Structure 1
Amino acid sequence: MTQPYPLLFQPEMKERIWGGRALAQFGLKLPEGSIGEGWMIGDHPNGTTSIVNGPLAGIGLDAVREQHGPEWFGTKGFSERNGRFPLLIKLLDCNDDLSVQVHPTDSYEGLPHGELGKTEMWYILDAKPGATIVYGLQDGIDRADMEAAIAEGRIMDTLRVVPVEAGDAFYIPAGTVHALCSGVVVAEIQQNSDTTYRLYDYDRPGLDGKLRELHIEDSLNVIAYEGAGAQRMKTGGIQPGEWLTIASSPYFIVEKGIVDGPLSLATTPESFVILVVADGDGTIRWNDGVDHLPLRSGQCLLLPAGLGEYALDGTMTVLRSMVP
């Protein structure tokens, strides 16, 4: 039987009308075009990543899930709705504004068969001076206000636009209207879903030259007009070895930590751990220190629940995610 070890994956690159070439800064090989999304760890019909290291190299995350089960992913490491890996990990390059959008909850009747809702969080890896995002509604906006604003072509008047800088974290529960805007590079941890309802797309053509579809009725149905618990925070000031919780939901917990020298950690039988190296470089060691991998900025690893003790070393900012 293959012993658990940290898994690296071949990302699935997605061309987007709003994308660019910034993900190349992480040493990723980009295909031609405007690359907006790198699906770094995925087990979804629209993108399943394959392992590139160790004994399981060449095998997709879906096959690992089927073959190794809870021993590798943990007793909580599966979606109860569709049996798949519960999270999707992305890096996003926003060279232009994304559509104004909203995601449904798991309970929305209009969800495609087998799909989950989409609660997510963003960690800002890089932001140009003056960069902003759309993050929620102005106070007091209800469905009637939103319908009128859409009909009158003034939807932006209903939205809250906030400035961002590297190190900011945003928790985005399903039902929260949002949009990344130009000039940011983002790590995204989300439910394993690819369902997005667009409210507004700046009347621009898509990659095929046609206006992209809007989903007004579905959007109006799923917006949480009274708020869904969205939270933002600055994440500076963490000391080496400390972990700051930057997002907490029923689907994932995300912590930010600073590595400056050796740091001993361990997985638990309940959940896998996902590490995203936000900046810096170093190593991960396991198997009593016998085995190791080099780490660099932008790298995303899946640590099986059965890995047990491991150690990080180097100078790095790391995001650590698990299921609660």
Structure 2
Amino acid sequence: MTVKPYPLKFKPEMKERVWGGRALEQFGLELPQGHIGEGWMIGDHPNGTTKVAGGALDGLGLDEIREQYGREWFGSKGFSEKNGRFPLLIKLLDCNDDLSVQVHPTDTYDRLPAGELGKTEMWYILDAKPGAKIIYGLKDGIDRAALQQAIDEGRVMEGLQEVEVKAGDAFYIPAGTVHALCAGVVVAEIQQNSDTTYRLYDYNRPGLDGGLRELHVEDSLNVIAYEGAGATRMNTDDAQAGSWLTIAESPYFVVDKGVVRGPWELSTSADSFVILVVAEGSGSISWGEGESQSVKAGECFLLPATLGSYSLGGEMTVIRSLVP
């Protein structure tokens, strides 16, 4: 059966986390009971595979779409060369409490689980309570020996940089960057398709099962980029209507912010799919021969590389991701 390409929306995979809450309900998402920290909005991973909601491919998993249509729909660059999966994982995060202090490996780390990738990511802050902050890198002069000593002496937090955040801030977090989201923020996360996280510190708090969560101190110390991995941050308030502002750039993804104020004519290319995350407001995506889909804040769409011309309408802010 030949299926015409159309914007794919998926049923999110919700993940309970000790630091989660109920804030994702503000987007109209249905949450199961518990402390929901992560909504995997577009995922093709053994730990979470999202299924299409609506249209001709309703009910198909992203893995099945990859197998049937991937080479055409994902674009010439739209595959992970290492494991064949969809290359990105798109999440919404509700940080009702502080996340663990953590770091992710690169693709070349020799202790990666079989089939896993490294994890370079970026955050776009959707909402932040007054005074909310994140942990973003080590303080100057902290090397492996100094960090190990701080861990041994129970003062690891003294070596970490804290940054206050607000809605609209963007943070690029290459593998090797020590980081942690803290309480009071809601985030859109675009990342390599990986679920490998090394916890350096977790506040000695119990997990969902009542026991202390596992730490990965040796792996963390091994993969940290002590001289910096190239992390960058950006205030994106200057984004102009009808143009793209690049807010993160890596070998794995390019992420742009766009402000929609009325019709905006766009197009996909044969190189890559396009992912759109609606950060605020509402509007529509139109394509093909008069086809249209209403969209609103918190919704995420995968536009096949073969979609071609499309138009965004309404009044909204969108975050666009593609593979460079």
TM-score range, shorter chain: over 0.9
Deviation at 1:237, TM superposition (A): 2.1
Q: State, as a whole percentage, how many aligned pairs show the same letter.
A: 73
Deviations 1:60-101 (A, max 9, x none): 000000001221000100000000000000000000000000
Partner Cα distance (2:62, 2:212) in 1: 34
Q: Does 1:155 align with 2:185?
A: no
Aligned to 1:293: 293
Query: Structure 2: which amino acid aligns with 1:79?
Result: S
Matched residues in 2 for 1:48 and 1:157: separation? 38
Structure-2 residue corresponding to 1:17: 18
Match of 1:98 in 2: 99
Letter in 2 for 1:321: S
1:174 Cα deviation (Å)?
0.0
Long gaps (5+) in structure 2: none
The residue number in structure 1 matching 2:226 is: 225
Specify the alignment match of 1:69 in structure 2.
Answer: 70
What does residue 116 of structure 1 align with?
117
SS at match of 1:67: helix
Q: Which residue of 2 is the match for residue 275 of structure 1? A: 276
Q: Secondary structure at the match of 2:8?
A: coil
Amino acid across the alignment from 2:204: D
- Gap runs ≥5 in structure 1: none
Number of residues of Structure 1 aligned to a counterpart in Structure 2:
323
Alignment correspondent of 1:302: 302
Matched ranges for 1:33-72 at <5 A: 33-72=34-73
Displacement after TM superposition at 1:238 (Å): 1.8
1:251 alignment counterpart:
252
Rounded to whole Å, the distance in 2 between the matches of 1:69 and 1:84 is 9
Letter in 2 for 1:306: T
| 1:200-231 CA distance string (max 9 Å, x none) | 00000000000000000000000000000000
What is the aligned partner in structure 2 of residue 29 from structure 1?
30
* Structure 2 partner of 1:196: 197
Aligned AA (1:155)? V
Match of 1:169 in 2: 170
Distance between the aligned counterparts of 1:212 and 1:240, measured in 2? 45
SS across alignment from 1:221: helix
Alpha-carbon distance in 2 for matches of 1:74, 1:237: 31
Instruction: Give the Cα separation in 1 of the matches to 2:62 and 2:70.
Output: 11
Give the corresponding residue for 1:312. 312
Aligned-residue CA RMSD (Å)? 0.4
User: SS state of the match for residue 73, structure 2?
Assistant: helix
Matches of 1:15 and 1:64, distance apart in 2: 26
CA distance in 2, matches of 1:238, 1:201: 36
